[in-house]
Structure 1
Amino acid sequence: MAATALGATDNAARQAFDVFFTSHHREFGRLAYLLSGDQDAAEDITAEAFAQAWGRWEQVSRADSPSAYVRRIVVNLAADRIRGLTRERKGRRLLGATWSERTHGPDVAAVADVRAALRQLPERKRACVVLRHYYGLSEQETARTLGITVGTVKSQTSRGVAELAAMLGTGTDGTTTERRRRGRG
């Protein structure tokens, strides 16, 4: 009888996880993409985040916000990946190799400009800007997700947005200096 109850508990947990996965997969995939800038990496990060979440599903499901818990896993995995790429790029430069970024399909010029500018921000600023402005998280939710203070979220978001504006050369009409120069503004 105990084995039957255990099996029912496992089945209920699996069903709850499946519902969670279905509800949040696209959201976490977008977050991983915005943080990593690479579709293949985003898919890997998202899969790994869900694998980690399933591995500790009992803890995740009891959290105040299971989606915030897994969002934090995604942010951490993306940061780990970026740090690894940075080390790899530095190593290649030391060896005299050149690094060229892959691009994935056609992009609208403005989206490509913003994506490139986001990649230039340090990881914490990028995470704050993406979580606050793309996902619309509050300062408190962003702070919980990143494990930092609300004050840090405020300053990093403000500085990140200012740096993006400077990189994009945003004009008063909303177009960028680069797009106006290319005649696309």
Structure 2
Amino acid sequence: MRGLPVASALDSAQMASFERVVDRQAQRLVRSLTSIFLDEQLAADAVQDAFIQLYKHWGEVTAKGDPDPWLYRVAVNRASDYRRALTRASRLFQRLVKTAPADPVCVDWVPRAEFMSMLSQLPTRQRTAAALYYEADLSVAEIARVMEISEGAVNSHLHRARMALRKILEAT
């Protein structure tokens, strides 16, 4: 893909150094992030992503010195990104509950994977509008510009998406 860096293979010495960092930091980093975010799975996912980024940028990162501070910063940032996404998904379901007609469904929190699965069941325009609204926190006006449709059409797509998500949620 254009614009994405391609990871170059590490030579054997670099690979050995990388593996030492993984061995030394993986569990410690997961424990640290779990303490910060109170979610071990989120922490493990963030750490895995951080190690992937470290591998991709090994030469550049190690040229500046110890990779540990960089690794921690990337892992914390990834975990923060994941937490924000989960919060947005939770807000979506809170809005569904508030805007739904009779028989409200009580939802405190839905795992991101489940939310993404539900979102994937929507038609493309509804899914796009909902993702931009709930995931990217764009306003209706901003979504209209992105999708090149009127604000009324955005509101219509969002309403239909909410109703479809509510039905999916009730069926589970």
State TM-score, norm by structure 1.
Answer: 0.47
1:55 aligns with 2:69: no
Whether the 8 Å contact between 2:33 and 2:43 is mirrored in structure 1 is yes
Do 1:46 and 1:74's aligned partners in 2 also have CA atoms closer than 8 Å?
yes
Deviation track 1:110-150 (CA, whole Å, cap 9, x = no partner) reads: xxxxxxxxxxxxxxxxxxxxxxxxxxxxxxxxxxxxxxxxx
Q: What does the per-residue CA deviation read over 1:48-81, in whole Å, with 9 as the maximum and x for residues that have no partner? A: 1111111111112222331000000011001101
1:39 and 2:40 aligned: yes
- After superposition, give the CA deviation of every residue in 1:7-64 in whole Å (9 maximum; x if it has no partner): 9x71111011011111111121112212321111111111111111111111122223
User: Alpha-carbon deviations, 1:151-185, whole Å to 9, x = none?
Assistant: xxxxxxxxxxxxxxxxxxxxxxxxxxxxxxxxxxx
How far 1:100 sits from its partner (Å)?
4.6
Bigger RCO of structures 1 and 2 (CA < 8 A, at least 6 apart) = 1
Find the aligned partners of 1:60 and 1:78 in 2 and give their Cα distance.
Answer: 20
1:53-132 matches, within 5 Å, as: 53-96=54-97, 97-100=106-109
Q: What's the secondary structure of 1:95's corresponding residue?
A: helix
Given that 2:61 and 2:70 are in contact with CA atoms closer than 8 Å, whether structure 1 keeps it comes out as yes
Given that residues 45 and 78 in structure 1 are in contact (C-alpha distance below 8 angstroms), is that contact kept between their aligned partners in structure 2?
A: yes
Q: How many aligned positions are there?
A: 95
Distance 1:31 1:71 in 2: 9
Match of 1:26 in 2: 27
SS in structure 2 of the partner of residue 65 of structure 1: coil
- TM-score norm. by structure 2 comes to 0.50
Moved over 4 A (4+): none
Residue number in structure 2 paired with 1:14: 15
Aligned-partner residue type, residue 98 of structure 1: V
Amino acid at match of 2:74: I
Partner-residue secondary structure (3-state), 2:94: helix
**DSSP 3-state at the match of 2:65:** coil
Instruction: Write the distance in 1 (CA, Å) between the matches of 2:66 and 2:13.
Output: 19
The amino acid that maps onto 2:42 is A
Provide structure 1 residue ranges, at least 5 long, that are not aligned to the other structure.
Answer: 1-6, 103-185
Q: Do the aligned residues in 2 keep the contact of 1:49 with 1:73 (CA within 8 Å)? A: yes
1:85 and 1:32, CA in 2 relative to 1: closer, same or farther beyond 3 A?
same
Alignment of 1:152-171 (within 5 A): none
